[in-house]
């Protein structure tokens, strides 16, 4: 029975639709290939991706764990048979073939470690039969500043000019990661030193005055003297603790409460304090001893020189992704230009606590999180501190 014209038309339509789908899929596939870029662009991406992944493992410096993970990425980057990373004491990582050379690598790298110049060693120079065949080596120094802190060694069938240049560039790149790690370590040590400076600032003057205040109550009010001794012990225990660079807002406020209790024992009703604290920010992590010096600044430089009573207002509010803390006093204030000069480190002045806290906040959170200070002679001082409520990696 012959096909009907209607059936033939339907069959043609199906075939045309199928062809359109195939052509459309082909165009989409072609576009996806184009989106990947040229061969050169894909090679650049792969290189940057490998360097990025290796850099993550070296940000803690030259150590076996980080070097072992980074060496895999760097060997793929160089396209060599084996790659090794050392420090000045020994081999930290070896990835790839020819591990029988690993025990001899420090001897092979001795001249590079002492002289700081890249060495090219042919198979005969390696002094061993390599299981995977005859390999040559390029050994490049890793310099941190003026020091050679290790080497990168690449092993391949031949050590041409391209491998020599590439290995030297990789060694220089590793050196940058090492210097960044040392910078991070230096920043941590600087923060610890600044905390020690704050503790030293607390100890001579505040401890002397507090002990004098406590002594004045021993005969007239022994019970209060005992309470002040306990508060003094708790305050100093917190201020001179040896663990952690961070604390919670709640802990810092407890420290401030003890500090103000001791200061009121000395000043009496001359120091009046108001607190307005939002409960939801009490768990916010802040740098250790970052609020107490601000309150001490308000007492020492704001209210102590003022005639009559002075008032300090401490607030802590939830401000979206941030906790905002303000410390305001109605004391004598200071010249804004002098304050800016002091914060910039142009002179020490009497407000070293402010400068110390401002510098630490900027180091931890960035320049946009430094102290905001509003003051003028005779107008008091308002200090605002904003810290992120979420701080991965910072534990109280």
Q: What are residue 323's phi and psi, to 5 degrees? A: -105, 130
Whether pLDDT at 22 is above 70: no
Domains and CATH numbers, the chain: 39-197 (3.30.450.40), 235-388 (3.30.565.10)
| 392/179 Cα distance (integer angstroms) | 24
| 147/162 Cα distance (integer angstroms) | 26
CA atoms within a 13 Å half-sphere pointing along the CA-CB vector of 233:
6
Q: Which residue has the higher pLDDT, 366 or 344?
A: 366
Q: Which residue has the higher pLDDT, 146 or 4?
A: 146
259's torsion region: left (phi>0), alpha (psi -120 to 50) or beta?
A: alpha
Give the DSSP per-residue string, 351-396: -HHHHHHHHHHHHHH-GGGS-EEEE-TTS-EEEEEEEES--TT---
Q: Which residue has the higher pLDDT, 41 or 119?
A: 119
How buried is 12 (Cβ within 10 angstroms: 0-12 exposed, 13-18 middle, 19+ buried)?
Answer: exposed
Q: How do residues 246-284 score in pLDDT, each as one tens digit?
A: 899 999 999 899 889 888 888 888 889 999 999 999 999
- CB-based burial, 192-225: b 16+ in 10 Å, e otherwise: eebbeebeebbeeebeebbeebbeebeeeeeeeb
Q: How do residues 70-122 score in pLDDT, each as one tens digit?
A: 888 888 888 899 999 999 989 999 999 888 899 999 999 999 999 999 999 98
Mean pLDDT check: name the lowest of 15-19, 135-139, 251-255.
15-19
* 220 DSSP assignment: T
Tokens standing for 261? Answer: 């209790």
* pTM confidence score: 0.51
Residue position matching structure tokens 């990661």:
177
């Amino acid at each position: 029975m012959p096909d009907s014209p209607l059936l033939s038309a339907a069959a043609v339509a199906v075939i045309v639709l199928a062809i359109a789908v195939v052509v459309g899929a082909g165009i989409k596939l072609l576009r996806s290939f184009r989106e990947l870029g040229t061969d050169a662009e894909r090679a650049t991406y792969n290189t940057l991706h490998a360097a990025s992944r290796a850099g993550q493992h070296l940000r803690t410096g030259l150590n076996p764990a980080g070097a072992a993970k980074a060496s895999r990425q760097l060997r793929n980057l160089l396209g060599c048979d084996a790659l090794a990373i050392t420090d000045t004491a020994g081999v930290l990582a070896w990835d790839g073939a020819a591990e029988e050379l690993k025990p001899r690598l420090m001897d092979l790298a001795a001249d590079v470690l002492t002289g700081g110049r890249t060495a090219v060693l042919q198979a005969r120079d390696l002094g061993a039969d390599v299981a995977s065949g005859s390999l040559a080596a390029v050994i490049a120094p890793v310099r941190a500043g003026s020091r050679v802190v290790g080497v990168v060694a690449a092993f391949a069938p031949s050590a041409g000019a391209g491998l020599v240049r590439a290995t030297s560039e990789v060694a220089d790149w590793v050196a940058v990661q090492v210097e960044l790690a040392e910078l991070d370590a230096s920043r941590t040590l600087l923060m610890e030193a600044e905390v020690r400076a704050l503790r030293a600032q607390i100890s001579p003057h505040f401890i002397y005055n507090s002990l004098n205040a406590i002594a004045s109550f021993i005969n007239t009010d022994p019970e209060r003297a005992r309470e002040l001794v306990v508060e003094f012990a708790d305050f100093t225990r917190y201020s001179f603790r040896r663990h952690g660079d961070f604390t919670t807002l709640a802990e810092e406020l407890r420290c401030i409460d003890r500090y103000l209790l001791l200061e009121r024992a000395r000043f009496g009703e001359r120091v009046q304090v108001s607190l307005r604290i939002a409960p939801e920010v009490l768990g916010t992590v802040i740098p250790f001893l970052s609020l107490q010096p601000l309150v001490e600044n308000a007492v020492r430089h704001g209210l102590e020189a003022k005639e009559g009573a002075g008032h300090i207002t401490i607030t802590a509010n939830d401000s979206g992704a941030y906790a905002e803390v303000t410390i305001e006093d109605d004391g004598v204030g200071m010249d804004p230009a002098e304050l800016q000069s002091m914060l910039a480190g142009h002179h020490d002045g009497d407000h070293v606590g402010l400068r110390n806290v401002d510098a630490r906040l900027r180091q931890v959170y960035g320049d946009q999180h430094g102290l905001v200070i509003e003051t003028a002679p005779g107008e008091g001082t308002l200090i605002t501190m904003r810290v992120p409520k979420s701080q991965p990696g910072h534990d109280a």
